[in-house]
Amino acid sequence: MMIENQYTLAPAAGVGLRKLQRVALIVGILGIVALLVGFFTTPAQQFLRAYLIGFLFWNGMTLGCFGLLMIQYMSGGAWGMMLRRTLEAGTRTWMLGAVLVLPILFGVRSLYSWAQPEVAAHDKVIQAKQFYLNVPFFSFRAVLYFAIWGTIITLLNRWSREQERTGDPIWAKRLETLSAPGILIYAFTMTFAATDWIMSLTPHWFSTIYGLLLCVCQTLSAMALVVATIVFLSRFEPLASLITKRHLHDMGKLLLAFTMLWAYLSFSQLILIWSGNLPEEITWYIDRLNGGWQYVGAILLIFHFGFPFLMLLSQALKKNPKTIQMIAIYVIFVRIIDVFWLVEPNFSGSHFQLHWLDVVAPTGIGGLWLAYFFRNLSERPILPMNAPDFEKALNHGRHHH
């Protein structure tokens, strides 16, 4: 039930969100139908590896909203006050992720070589890791991750609602107190989840920076989504009268910061592994720098980092609602290419492959995720009226000289 205050979305905004929800749902249903066709007409592994790409990206969107929300509670700031409700709507999609992980758990033996007894029997490295890489423990950890994430997300949203209802400062203190260990828990559990779901696709390979890199990827995706959404909602009241160019500038700077952090961590991982020149590590990159994959890597270098970096350096572009929204939507699409680059070469090696399911899976799952997200967004007022420093955040960029 929606809590009424003066920052409840105007009816026109509600209509706009319902249109977006309807379009997303139609796309999602059509995508899932196509996925089902792929399930019955393609090999199990082909279906599952495409499905894994879609699951990783959109569940990562949920977790990126989760991480950003806790960062905002810890750091404060006008940028976060404008995005908080959008981030909360994103976190409440966690239950969809908990359902979407099930095909991966059921198809683990088709997807992961370490889960295949005939492979493990002749591989000493896999045998040495079987205390961790075994099907029951893999499934248990997946359930545990979602239980932990869901518990913290539920508490954050419940306490935020109580803060909205009562205005009692105790709820702001609780949100901050939970977010401090929550950020560490998110990073810790995501490191293990990244190891389970992606790194173990190549059980001989490992990277100690991989979990942190995935966390940054998720927060970048989430930041792009909420920026695009807030700019859309700024066409309507109450945000039409409240969003300033300074707010947009701050959001653009954060988008730039996460883009740079992604590039820094990606390059750091490459340079450390390349300089080490160990066969069990370097082959991961050799696969991605040959057979056509080098062009995907070049696309990521130029269009995931170079292009948005140059665009986001401009204050004018960051302060312009249309351009910052286009950049944010662009980042979301190029992020999907990055997830594809992380997953697919584990199966195809140094031979570039793009299956139609690799496009259908992220589209179908994304349609369902966005429909759920837009529904969540329409359930609550768009701004947290009783949050600390709320009035200061509203006046951000409105100083008179």
The closest of 97, 142, 105 to 368, measured between CA atoms, is 97
Q: What is the pLDDT of residues 153-201, one digit of tens each?
A: 999 999 999 998 888 889 989 999 999 999 999 999 999 999 999 999 9
Q: What is the pLDDT of residues 109-125, one digit of tens each?
A: 999 999 999 999 999 99
Q: Would you place residue 316 in the very low, low, confident or very high pLDDT band (cuts 50, 70, 90)? A: very high
Residues 149, 62: Cα–Cα separation, whole Å? 10
pTM for the structure as a whole = 0.95
Q: Would you place residue 401 in the very low, low, confident or very high pLDDT band (cuts 50, 70, 90)? A: very low
The DSSP-derived string for 133-161 is: S-HHHHHHHHHHHHHHHHHHHHHHHHHHH
Residues 196, 139: Cα–Cα separation, whole Å? 10
Q: What is the pLDDT of residues 387-399, one digit of tens each?
A: 777 777 777 766 5
Q: What is the pLDDT of residues 60-75, one digit of tens each?
A: 999 999 999 999 999 8
Residues 62, 369: Cα–Cα separation, whole Å? 9
Domain boundaries, the chain: 11-381
The closest of 193, 243, 200 to 215, measured between CA atoms, is 193
State the alpha helices, DSSP H only, in 198-306: 210-233, 239-242, 245-276, 279-288, 293-299
Can you give the pLDDT at residue 165?
Answer: 86
- Maximum Cα interatomic distance, the chain, rounded to a whole number of Å: 75
Decide if pLDDT at 76 tops 90. Answer: no
Q: How many helices (H) and strands (E) in the chain?
A: 21, 0
Can you give the pLDDT at residue 5?
Answer: 62
CA distances from 163 to 68, 75, 156, 177, 388 (A): 19, 18, 10, 14, 10
Can you give the pLDDT at residue 82?
Answer: 87
Taking a C-beta distance cutoff of 8 angstroms, is the pair 340, 53 a contact? yes
Output the CA torsion 105→121→129→266 (10° steps).
Answer: -70
